[in-house]
Amino acid sequence: MIALVVLISLTVIAVGGVLGVYAMVRYNIYNDKGVYAWSVGRNGITETVVNEIQQEYYAYLIASNYNADEALPVLGNKGYEGDSDIRISSSVIKKYSEENCNFAFKVKDSSDTVLWYNFDPASAGSKAKESGQNIDGTSVYQYTPVYGFTYFILGSTITDAGNIPVYSEGEIKEVFITVEIYLLSPTEKGEWPASDDYSTVYWWIMTAVSLRYIVFAVIGVALLLIFLLLVMITNGAGLTADPNSDEIVPGFIDRSPLDVNILIAVGICIACIVGMRLTGIANSGIVIDNVVIIFGSCVIMIVIVNLLETLSVRIKLGEPGKNTLIYKIYSLIKRKVMPDDSEKKRKTGISYTGKLVFLVVLFSLILLGILTYFAYRYFVLGASQIKFEYYIIIWLAAMIVVVPLVIMFVTNFGYIRDAGQKIASGDLEGNDISSRLSIKAMRDHGENLDHIKRDMAKAMEQEMKDERFRNELISNISHDIRTPLTSINSFVELLGSPDITEEQRKQYLEILQRQVSNLNGLTKDLMDISKFSTGNVEVHLELMDIGVAVEQMVGEYYYALQENSVEIELQKEEKEYPVMADGNMLGRVINNLMTNVRKYAMPSTRVYIRVKDENNRISIMFRNVAKDLPNLSGEELSERLVRGDRSRHTDGSGLGLSIAKSLTELQHGTFNVDVDGDLFTVTLEFDRADTQNNQA
């Protein structure tokens, strides 16, 4: 309701502004800054004043039984003659007194005798000069017209009957008077000595002059706000007061047939327009005309708002065309003609192509109807403001330009709708949606749908990958737990046999201890990877030289690798490689990588370890030739429970790379695995620490 009140107020402002611009153009204010408008207003007011003055003087003559054979009575500025009881109305005397009007007048007879005046023009001129009024430096009066009037009044004849005069009616005689007006000028500031119709009209004209360009901005802002309010009202149509509810609640108008509402709305709008036209034809005055136009515009705006609201509600509820009187009649006829069974089996929906064809045909018929209307006006009514050839050109332009645009818009919209339905149903195949769209706004929307489709495809791919890894994880864990348990169970049974020797008993116990150790290691690694991957562990970062840590770990594994004929080549400069890291975690990462090299490096090959400092990043690369590398990507190798041997006969849990990756990321580093044939490369990267800032 508040929005509707504001909308009506803005409509009054916009329509009033348009009417104001029309009036200013009509009175040439934009060209001469009000000169012509003031001339028209001044002449109109002056004629009204003069007519009232002469009518008042004539009324005095009639009331005083004036005889046309006598001289006209002299009323002076008091409005009566001598001590006569018959006089000019006191309200007229007050209205035209020196304090209440901006002009002086004189009523004269044919001999130029002053019969009646409001105040002396000379004194008015002196008063005007004192207040600084002037026109071109020559006169305080800007307007001094003279009007003449003729009265037809009966004369009388006087006869002597015994010294007693007897009056009898004579012939009708002409009585002529003139009325002179001396209109004062406003000051340079636009001020007048008194407040009357002249000052009021002058103020309005000067106000229009000062606002003649500002009114365009006011109209523009009002129209913009009207558009925004219409959008807001349309979007909010049918919604409940609950902000958390999206339920659409139709009202009484929304439940009535749509075509009936449209007919009523069109009828009301036509009635308002006809009323405006009739008021203009009746020449009832500019004020009444403008009031009727503004009132009619407000009524039309209310009708438009109601129509937009009900259309919005029907569209939100879906299938707005079914709640029409025409559709109901069509359905009734269809039920009568077509049996129920066949009607149920029949596909009642219209294809998208059919809808497009229907829309184009409807639009073409509308254009043809408009052309027919103008042809009727041109050939039948003779309205020839524009040649009919121009109407043909406009119609052809609309058919050639507008119809293809409508087809392009509808086609783009339909393709986006179909693509959205495919995405909603999970169909993520096909080309990019945006490549099939030609309208920029829809192409931008198509690009958004493409991003959604690609993200959903990636998510589904990742979900399938995670599912595969979960299955492999369960399988690997089952294998790695079941193998030592089976071995433990078998050797426990053998230890219980009385036929084994002491030497065999000792061997079986060693195997049991090794299997229990493997099982404990697997359990510990599973618990560690759970903590590390979820970040449920404390990290104590401190400044350390990662080059020293790598060098120490290489020294520890030097002899173990030489036993497998694997040579180590360490490439690093003699300098500090400062990073912020957790010493224990970093040591475990390097230890896991060196253990991985010891287990899976091909004999008689070299292992390259390089420490590099560039672009404020410190990287440690481990590269070796693997003897039995699974056909997996680097990312898959760093997942959980993946070993370098397919048979899973080596010791370990297969969690070494996964643990190393989690620990590296906990220290804000990056962990990358790359596989190129049988060449296996792991690269760690950390931000270089600023030693001076950390020491400070």
The CATH number of the domain holding residue 677 is 3.30.565.10
Measure the CA–CA gap between 199 and 85, rounded to whole angstroms.
34
For the ranges 224-238, 371-385, 412-426, 566-580, the lowest mean pLDDT is seen at 371-385
For the ranges 127-131, 135-139, 503-507, the lowest mean pLDDT is seen at 135-139
Residue 137 has pLDDT above 50, yes or no: no
Asked whether 52 and 65 are in contact (CB, 8 A), the reply is no
pLDDT band at 357 (very low <50, low <70, confident <90, very high): low
Residue 126 lies in a domain: yes
Tens digits of residue pLDDT in 541-597: 999 999 998 988 888 888 888 888 889 899 988 889 999 998 888 888 888 888 888
Residue 688 lies in a domain: yes
Q: Which residues contact 317 (CB under 8 A, 6 or more apart)?
A: 238, 248, 250, 254
Is the pTM higher than 0.75? The answer reads no
Residue 165 has pLDDT above 60, yes or no: no
Confidence at residue 178, expressed as pLDDT on a 0 to 100 scale: 93
Residue 535 has pLDDT above 60, yes or no: no
Confidence at residue 565, expressed as pLDDT on a 0 to 100 scale: 86
Specify the 3-state DSSP secondary structure of 85: coil
Confidence at residue 243, expressed as pLDDT on a 0 to 100 scale: 64
Measure the CA–CA gap between 423 and 452, rounded to whole angstroms.
9
Residue 8 vs residue 374, higher pLDDT: 8
Domain boundary (193, 213, 246) is at 193
Q: Give the Cβ contact number of residue 649 at 10 Å.
A: 8
Tell me the two tokens of residue 591: 């230890």
Specify the 3-state DSSP secondary structure of 141: strand
Residue 353 lies in a domain: no
Tell me the two tokens of residue 257: 């047939």
Residue 167 lies in a domain: yes
Residue 255 has pLDDT above 90, yes or no: no
Q: Count the domains in the chain.
A: 2
pLDDT band at 379 (very low <50, low <70, confident <90, very high): low
Tens digits of residue pLDDT in 209-224: 999 899 999 999 999 9
Domain boundary (135, 162, 193) is at 193
Confidence at residue 346, expressed as pLDDT on a 0 to 100 scale: 44
Residue 399 lies in a domain: no
Residue 187 lies in a domain: yes
Summary count for the chain: helices (H), strands (E): 22, 12
Angle between helices 403-424 and 440-495 (to 10 degrees): 10
Tell me the two tokens of residue 192: 């007048």
Residue 52 vs residue 353, higher pLDDT: 52
Q: Are strands 670-676 and 578-581 parallel, antiparallel or unpaired?
A: unpaired
Confidence at residue 457, expressed as pLDDT on a 0 to 100 scale: 80
Confidence at residue 642, expressed as pLDDT on a 0 to 100 scale: 47
Asked whether 154 and 68 are in contact (CB, 8 A), the reply is yes
Tens digits of residue pLDDT in 594-619: 888 888 888 889 999 999 998 889 99
Confidence at residue 176, expressed as pLDDT on a 0 to 100 scale: 92
Per the prediction, the chain carries an average pLDDT of 77
% of the chain surpassing 70 pLDDT: 75
Q: Which residues contact 191 (CB under 8 A, 6 or more apart)?
A: 131
Residue 677 lies in a domain: yes
Confidence at residue 136, expressed as pLDDT on a 0 to 100 scale: 40
Residue 631 lies in a domain: yes
- Domain enclosing residue 177, as ranges: 67-193
* Phi/psi of residue 488, nearest 5 degrees: -60, -45
Query: H-helix or E-strand containing 542?
Result: strand 542-545
Confidence at residue 641, expressed as pLDDT on a 0 to 100 scale: 44
Confidence at residue 442, expressed as pLDDT on a 0 to 100 scale: 75
Domain boundary (193, 218, 252) is at 193
